[in-house]
Chains A and B, each alone.
Chain A
Amino acid sequence: MKSNQTLAAWVFTGPALIVIGLFFLVPVLLALGLSFTDFDIYALASLKNVQFVGLDNYLTVLRMGLFWKALGNTLYFVVVGVPLSIGAALGAALLVHSRLARWKGFFRTALFTPVVANIIAVAVIWKYLFQQQYGIVNYVLGWFGVQPIDWLGNPHMAMPTIIFFALWKNFGYAMVIVLAGLQAIPDELYEAARLDGASTWRQVRHITLPMLGPTLMTVGLLTMVGYFQLFAEPYVMTEGGPLQSTLSVLYLMYNQGFDWWNLGLASAIAFTLFVFTLAATFLLVRVGRRKGWV
């Protein structure tokens, strides 16, 4: 009986384990190895040209001005983008959940739609909506007397524009999860507060937000990890420019790895980004622990 189950279990899990092992776990270990070599375009021709270089790639990364620029851009995107996305998601969820809202199903679906729309397609759309001369964004702002802005062509505006785009694209995802969190809060809590004469705002402040803590923590973490992997947005909208103002760490990895074929250096960049992502995750989890949200 037992041995039947053991055999069946390995047969059942075998295909998945082989795929994950061969195409993910082993490559991750190889990537660590690769990051200690000078694997470049010559190595692509013949493996004889590969040399072990120890920590050289990591030192190169840490001395590379462009890496710090890319890391700064990525952190900018994360630090501004995550709170905005979670804030918008919370606001939208509260509105959809409100007793006063009609057509809840329609609104929920409508607000979620950008999440499933293909990112390349919507990035192309927004690129034209943000176009300086004929774009609708500048046209609408013109009604209020705002002079046309070069959203994606100005080094100071490009990253905020991409953050706005990411907000539009992603807030629905967090909203759906927050909505489920809202639905899980027992009605009795609100009834009791209403009997005590608490205003709507006080109910949100003292019941909803504290009860939502763990949910917000979870979506915050998921969103943050995703935002550290910024790539497709600048790839389509700005190609990392202008003046590298939207170059992300992952974009730099892609450039180094697959434009210049410095696969060793690219692997070191990937692991460095991984370390920063982990550090930020631990930091957020620690804050969450202190507040009792984890």
Chain B
Amino acid sequence: MKSSRAAVWGVNALLALLALLALFPLLWMLSVSLMPLGSASTFPPPLLPVHPTLANYRALFVGADLGRYLLNSLIVSGGITLGSLACNVLAGYAFAKLRYAGRERTFNLLLGALVIPTQVAMMPLFLLARELHIVNSYAGVILPSLASIFGIYLVRQYARAIPTEMLEAARIDGASEFRIFARVVLPLLKPIILTLTILTFLTAWNDFMWPLIVLTGSSHYTLPIALASLARQHNQDVEMLMAGSMVTVVPVLVLFLLLQRYYIQGLLLGSVKG
């Protein structure tokens, strides 16, 4: 084939340009976060810090309680991930492999509910949270996310490939259903569990609207909520806001880079049926 050198150059140059466009804002964030307060707002805009400093990070962690928000984010995302893994994996397996009356009807009801945007539920959900006294608490953010229809669907799709004969053999040996799940099924589901873990953690970490509503005081703010509020109060302090953005972006970015394969697989599985 006559793939001319010019064509090779053209395609790769275009890709490099796109990659630069995609990554530049994040690199700029890193660079500005290391600049002394006030030095980014000059003309022409500086690309690299002349005197790199960690002062912005120090100011945020010492003066603006960022450590607390980081901890809040970790607690909330970790809690959601652990809890919803348990709920979704158990349910997804049951919907895929256990035979019982009402299975299809229940599952179809869940699938149907997938078209309803979550925001519709938020007004009553807030009133419910008030009744349960979990407004402005970790539980207020965690509880509604402890199971997800999408997660159940993902596990069910994967678990359907488990051969029924394997389960039947274990049953004939007298194993209880829970034992079968723990000993036979769980090891087979490892890849989808990893996928679900990273998908759930990232979604929980990045969630914005519900935490914004239910966290009415700053003590339980997660990082995105704290950052949004900081951005409104400290409109002028770009350098500090970029340090805050770094702390919000980097943990999950690292996680994504480490487990990329599993994350992408989850996206693809989730889009098969729309």
Quote the shortest CB–CB distance from A169 to chain B (angstroms).
10
Cα distance, A92 to B44, chains bound together (Å): 31
- A59: interface (CB < 8 Å): no
Size class of the contact patch on chain B: 35 or more
Knowing A12-B98, A27-B124, A134-B45 touch, does A95 contact B11 (C-beta < 8 A)? Answer: yes
Q: Are B3 and A218 in contact (CB under 8 A)?
A: no
Knowing A23-B144, A101-B12, A266-B123 touch, does A120 contact B208 (C-beta < 8 A)? Answer: yes
Q: Mark A84-117, 1 if CB is under 8 A from B, else 0.
A: 0000000010011011111100110111111011
Cα distance, A31 to B122, chains bound together (Å): 8
- A133: interface (CB < 8 Å): yes
- B120: interface (CB < 8 Å): yes
Cα distance, A38 to B177, chains bound together (Å): 50
Cα distance, A92 to B11, chains bound together (Å): 10
- A229: interface (CB < 8 Å): yes
List A residues 46-87 near B (Cβ within 8 Å): none
Residue of B nearest to A177 (CB): B271
Q: Are A95 and B18 in contact (CB under 8 A)?
A: yes
- A9: interface (CB < 8 Å): yes
Knowing A16-B91, A100-B11 touch, does A118 contact B205 (C-beta < 8 A)? Answer: yes
Main secondary structure of the interface of B (DSSP, over half): helix
Q: Are A30 and B126 in contact (CB under 8 A)?
A: no
Q: Are B100 and A5 in contact (CB under 8 A)?
A: yes
Knowing A118-B223, A125-B242, A270-B120 touch, does A168 contact B249 (C-beta < 8 A)? Answer: no
- B161: interface (CB < 8 Å): no
Q: Mark B46-76, 1 if CB is under 8 A from A, else 0.
A: 0000000000000000000000000000000
Residue of A nearest to B273 (CB): A218
Q: Are B267 and A177 in contact (CB under 8 A)?
A: yes
- A222: interface (CB < 8 Å): yes
- B183: interface (CB < 8 Å): no
Number of interface residues of A (CB under 8 A): 94
Knowing A2-B99, A8-B98 touch, does A125 contact B117 (C-beta < 8 A)? Answer: no
Q: Which of A152-160, A204-212, A249-257 forms part of the interface with chain B?
A: A249-257
B residues near A (Cβ < 8 Å) are: 1, 3, 7-8, 11-12, 14-15, 18-19, 21-23, 25-26, 28-29, 32, 40-45, 86-88, 90-91, 93-95, 98-101, 103, 106, 110, 113, 115-128, 143-144, 146-149, 152, 171, 176-178, 181, 202, 205-206, 208-209, 213, 223-224, 227-228, 231, 238, 241-242, 244-246, 248-249, 252-253, 256-257, 260, 263-264, 267-268, 271, 274
**11 A-B pairs in the complex with CB atoms less than 8 angstroms apart:** A8-B94, A16-B87, A27-B125, A113-B26, A124-B231, A124-B245, A125-B25, A177-B268, A218-B274, A219-B271, A274-B120
Kindly list the 4 A-B residue pairs having the minimum CB-CB distance in the complex, ordered from nearest. Answer: A8-B177, A30-B124, A27-B121, A121-B245
